[in-house]
Structure 1
Amino acid sequence: MRTPICGQRSASTRPKPQPRVEEESQAMDGTLRVPPDGLPKMSLRSKILQGIGYLVGLVILGWCVQVAFVQGDWSRVREADPMLVAGIVLASIASILLNGILFRLTLEPVRPRVSAAGAPRVPPLPGTAALIGVNWVCTLANFAPLRLGMIARITYHMRVDRLRFMEIVPWFALDLVTFLLPIAGIIGATLFVRSFGLGWIGLTAALITILSLLLWRGSKLRLVPARLRETARIIGDGRSLLICLPIRCLDLACNGLRTILAAQILGLDLDFAESFALASAGLVASLGPLGRLGFREAGFALFAQLLSAKGFEGGIDAAFIQLSMLDSAGEAIAALLGGIPLSIWMTRRILAPDPTTRTARR
């Protein structure tokens, strides 16, 4: 047998070729790709689709503006009580703050504060104040095209907090679940009980509880594919649902309060249950892959018309379009107040030269 000389390797000791690891991961909405450098990127096809979607949204928004200004009565808006206007903005700010708190709470099951051995995690979890700041900036960025809010959020957490992309996906999924469960309960209850009271509260709570139990039980089924079990475990985390769902209901209540204050300015007789459902429908419409601008206002007005006594007979009432625009304007003003100064802070943190805040943890 021939003995290999020094510096050579026998065939049996040569390293086996490793399977090629996919260099890019696709985000939840199918538009973002995150290569190994940790920078979210968007394919040319996605950019074109997002651009077209944004233009469509602008056309829809233009139609809303045209109907509202031609057919609507703006005298009440011009003479609006400043306290009502301030209330709309403050309700929007409260919603932004609560969303930041929820982002912190939903991160805990994804990346616990301490390891299994009881040692502190390195790097540490982002603080609540930082997550509120990021959420404020991204709320403003959501008015821009190309899902800029999502890109900015992922970039920050990968660069600054050194979160892996595969940690961000279940984190955002859990936050989305805590968002959709109460909305489903609120809209479902309002379709049966139109007035706010014990009946509406009881039905809403029952629907949210049933949906949460179904999710919790379903996340533990063996039918879940192996590659999705960790994500299923996180979105079905009972402790997180118990803590986050009441806070999310409070967040949605702030959105409902904004809607009912806008209705008071316009002189519309709107029950709190209906305002709750309208605000929730508008939020769902803004989740579409093509952005929120235009789609949210139209979705809000369409659902308001659906809840009205006459339905869609005679088209969409201009007052409902006015209501949707006032609701969106309140959120936009609140987003501008904090989003502009905080965007400077967020950009500096992303571009910081410190390698501990620039290198994404792989």
Structure 2
Amino acid sequence: MSDPILHPEQVDDVVRPARGWKRAAAYIVGLGLLAASVYLAVNKADWSHLRQADRSDIALLCALVVANVLTNALLFWLATKPFEVPGQPVKLREWLAMVAGTALLNYAGAKAGLIGRIAYLKKYHGISYRANVFTLVALAAGTASIYILIAAILLWRDGVDTTGLTLGTLALVVLSLVGWLFIKPAVGRFGAGQIARRDLPVWIFVWSILRIVDAVVYAGRLMIASHVLGKPIDLELALTAAVVCNFVVMAAPVPGGLGIREWLGAAIVKWGFKGAVVMDLAQGAGILVVDRVAEVVTLLALGPLALLYLHYRANKIDNNR
């Protein structure tokens, strides 16, 4: 699970009321695509291995969903550090709660999660709307750059090897310096946080590594989902699908890439790495559906607790003022 980062309509939600009918239409289309992928998987995929799946595999799949919540919380926690108001830091556990809670709320289709998060940061931590929007733009640009880098290395090196990892690390250093040139003026304008401008390149590099870890964790989810269905896929294919699916979650007009993630992920799993057919589309859809179910079940367990914690935290801040 990659947290929804930015779509043009989401910026509109911050600065003026969004056109609700567009969101509703996108949500309905997403639900339709999701229903179609579930129908295809249920009726055409082979589910015999799932009935015999080891419970530890299912538990590990849900644990990796939790790990994605943690990596996304760390990503946003790092990203907002330069813009924090002195004396009002955002605690990491608050980000854990915001990521888990907003991920659940976004399944409602109203993008209430993103809007609520920005409002929470403004009211209880003094992070301005402009700083919030800039952070979203920077995160979107950084994420897209890293995903393009991963895809390029996978295609060029036919997978993951020492040469690819070395060149990828050097490319990350270059991207960190470019990101520093982009972010430095905004930190000077909006920032008052704990990260000095001179430390930004290192901070951006650490953030970039963490974004890659997030993609690898999601790739692990897809590998486990494919294993429990009896059609295991390798790391290269899983990472390719993970990058595409995470990009869809980031950019799609419907929160969580509902439906779109399933079909694109299934297509990548079907045609494999560099177009070699691995399995039929229904089996690929089954893998993505299993992963989606694990995500929803995990968020249903975490989300309400996260929202309760945010309510408690907000009341505590209000009472201390």
Please state whether the residue corresponding to 2:8 is helix, strand or coil: coil
Change (3 A) 1:317 1:207: farther
Deviation digits for residues 294-341 of structure 1, max 9, x if unmatched?
Answer: 12212212333343576689x961111111112222222222221112
- 3-state DSSP class of the match of 2:41? helix
Q: Which residue, out of 147, 150, 171, partners 1:186? A: 150
Q: Distance in 2 between matches of 1:241 and 1:92?
A: 24
How much does 1:49 deviate?
0.2
- State the match for 1:336 in structure 2: 300
Match of 2:17 in 1: 42
Match of 1:29?
8
Aligned to 1:240: 203
Larger radius of gyration: 1
Other-structure match for 1:296:
261
Deviation at 1:140, TM superposition (A): 1.5
1:256 matched residue in structure 2:
219
1:99 and 1:106 map into 2 onto residues whose CA distance is 10
Pairing 1:73–2:46 present: yes
Task: Give, in whole Å, the separation in 2 of the partners of 1:33 and 1:141.
Answer: 15
In structure 1, the partner of 2:132 is 168
Asked if the contact 2:89/2:125 (under 8 Å) is kept, the reply is: yes
Distance 1:95 1:63, change over 3 A: same
Alpha carbons of structure 1 residues 193 and 264: separation in structure 2 relative to 1, 3 Å:
farther
Task: Report 1 or 2 for greater relative contact order, CA contacts < 8 Å, sequence distance ≥ 6.
Answer: 2
Change (3 A) 1:173 1:302: same
Match of 1:59 in 2: 32
Q: Which residue is 1:12 aligned to?
A: none
Deviation at 1:200, TM superposition (A): 4.1
| In structure 1, distance between residues paired with 2:305 and 2:298 | 12
TM-aligned CA distance change 1:87 to 1:103, over 3 Å: same
Describe the shift of the 1:227–1:246 C-alpha distance in structure 2 as closer, same or farther (beyond 3 A): closer
User: Which residue of structure 2 aligns with residue 286 of structure 1?
Assistant: 249
Distance 2:312 2:300 in 1: 18
Aligned-CA RMSD value:
3.3
| Contact 2:82 2:187 survives alignment (8 Å) | no
Counterpart-to-counterpart distance in 2, 1:228 and 1:127: 20
In structure 2, relative to structure 1, the CA distance for the partners of 1:63 and 1:34 (3 Å cut) is closer
> Do the aligned partners of residues 33 and 324 (structure 1) sit closer, same or farther apart at CA in structure 2, a change above 3 Å counting?
closer
**What do the CA deviations read for 1:264-308 (whole angstroms, capped 9, x no partner)?**
112224221221121121111112123221122122123333435
Q: What's the counterpart of residue 21 of structure 1?
A: none
Letter in 2 for 1:243: V
User: What is the CA distance between 1:256 and its match in structure 2?
Assistant: 1.2
Residue 5 of structure 1: aligned partner: none
Cα deviation, residue 211, structure 1:
4.0
Letter in 2 for 1:187: A
Give the TM-score normalised by structure 1.
0.74
Alignment of 1:68-147 (within 5 A): 68-111=41-84, 121-122=86-87, 124-147=88-111
CA pair 130-351 structure 1, distance change in 2 beyond 3 A: same
Match of 2:116 in 1: 152
Structure 1's 345 and 267: CA in aligned 2 closer, same or farther, altered over 3 A?
same
Aligned-pair identity in percent equals 20
CA drift of 1:61 comes to 0.7
1:196, distance to aligned residue in structure 2 (A): 3.4
Matched residues, number: 308
CA change 1:125–1:177 in 2 (3 A) is farther
Decide whether aligned partners of structure 1 residues 84 and 200 sit closer, same or farther in structure 2, where only a CA change above 3 A counts. farther
Equivalent residue runs for 1:185-204 within 5 Å:
185-204=149-168
When residues 240 and 156 of structure 1 are mapped into structure 2, their CA distance, relative to the original with a 3 A threshold, is same
Structure 1 contact 266–323 (Cα < 8 Å) conserved: yes
Distance (Å, rounded) in 2 between the aligned partners of 1:354 and 1:219: 32
Match of 2:109, SS?
coil
Shift of 1:182: 2.5
Q: CA deviation at 1:173?
A: 2.7
Q: Is the 8 A contact 1:91 1:254 kept in 2?
A: yes
Distance 1:216 1:180, change over 3 A: same
- Equivalent in the alignment of 1:7: none
Residue segments in structure 1 that go unaligned for 5+ positions in a row: 1-26, 36-40, 114-120, 221-225, 358-362
| Contact 1:181-1:208 within 8 A present in 2 as well | no
